[in-house]
């Protein structure tokens, strides 16, 4: 089992915590399923609201531009056909869903693989309580700088407004809670700074 050091928010070591091999200690993280999870996450973020007008939806074009034969020009039925300026769009995008689903076992393996990869790389830091007495960006910046984190993912067990609001103006920093972690956010961060309570909650959910 991974036996990780626990630090306070100033970077001082306060103890250790033993975490599950099944969640934080996979020796060979599954890169394929992590890739699928990241693709699904990015696809599910797409709104799919883009839309173009077909020739049937463009205003005008009811009259045939010129007679069928005898003019020497190509036959045309409408000035709103795709080849005309201001005409409709042929085969253009319409509103659609880009949603991609993964089964529960694959999602679980992807999360555990991502967490294990961060632990193995030394980019997973357990903090003995992440909270701030007041909303202050400077305090949050000092916290992340204590662990040399330039693009950190800060995970708390529940929403802590002082932490969220103190970190919202720091470029690269993202805050989340243990129940909604994603593979993309974990892999995209240079350091995962996680509250000890949040780590134990994640372990309780995924170590089954």
Residues forming CATH 3.40.1370.10 domain(s) in the chain? 3-31+102-206
CATH of 3-31+102-206, one of 3.40.1190.10, 3.40.1370.10, 1.20.140.10, 1.10.490.10: 3.40.1370.10
pLDDT recorded at residue 2: 78
Give the tens place of pLDDT for each residue, 152-186: 999 999 999 999 999 999 999 999 999 999 999 99
Q: For 1-18, what is the mean pLDDT?
A: 92
Sequential DSSP letters for the chain:
--EEEEE-TTS-EEEEEE--HHHH--SS--HHHHHHHHHHHHHHT---------TTTSS---S-SS-SSSSSSPP-S-TTSTTSTT-PPTT------------HHHHHHHHHHHHHHHHHTT-EEEES----SS--HHHHHHHHHTTT-SSEEEEESS--HHHHHHHTTSTT-EEEEGGG--HHHHHH-SEEEEEHHHHHHHHHHH--
Give the tens place of pLDDT for each residue, 43-97: 999 999 999 999 999 999 889 999 999 999 999 999 999 999 999 999 999 999 9
- Per cent of the chain over pLDDT 90 is 97
């Amino acid at each position: 089992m991974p036996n990780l050091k626990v630090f306070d928010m100033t970077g001082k070591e306060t103890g250790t915590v033993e975490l599950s091999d099944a969640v934080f200690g996979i020796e060979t993280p599954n890169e394929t399923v992590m890739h699928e999870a990241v693709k699904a996450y990015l696809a599910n973020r797409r709104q799919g609201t883009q839309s173009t007008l077909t020739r049937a939806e463009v205003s005008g074009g009811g009259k045939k531009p010129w007679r069928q034969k005898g003019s020497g020009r190509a036959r045309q039925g409408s000035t709103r056909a795709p080849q005309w300026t201001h005409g409709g769009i042929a085969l253009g995008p319409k509103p659609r869903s880009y949603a991609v689903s993964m089964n529960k076992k694959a999602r679980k393996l992807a999360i555990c693989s991502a967490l294990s990869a961060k632990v193995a790389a030394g980019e997973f830091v357990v903090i003995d309580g992440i909270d701030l007495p007041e909303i202050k960006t400077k305090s949050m910046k000092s916290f992340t700088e204590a662990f040399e984190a330039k693009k950190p993912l800060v995970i708390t067990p529940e929403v802590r407004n002082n932490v969220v609001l103190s970190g919202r103006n720091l470029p690269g920093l993202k805050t989340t809670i243990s129940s909604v972690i994603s593979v993309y956010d974990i892999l995209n961060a240079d350091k995962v700074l996680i509250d000890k309570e949040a780590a134990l909650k994640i372990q309780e959910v995924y170590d089954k």
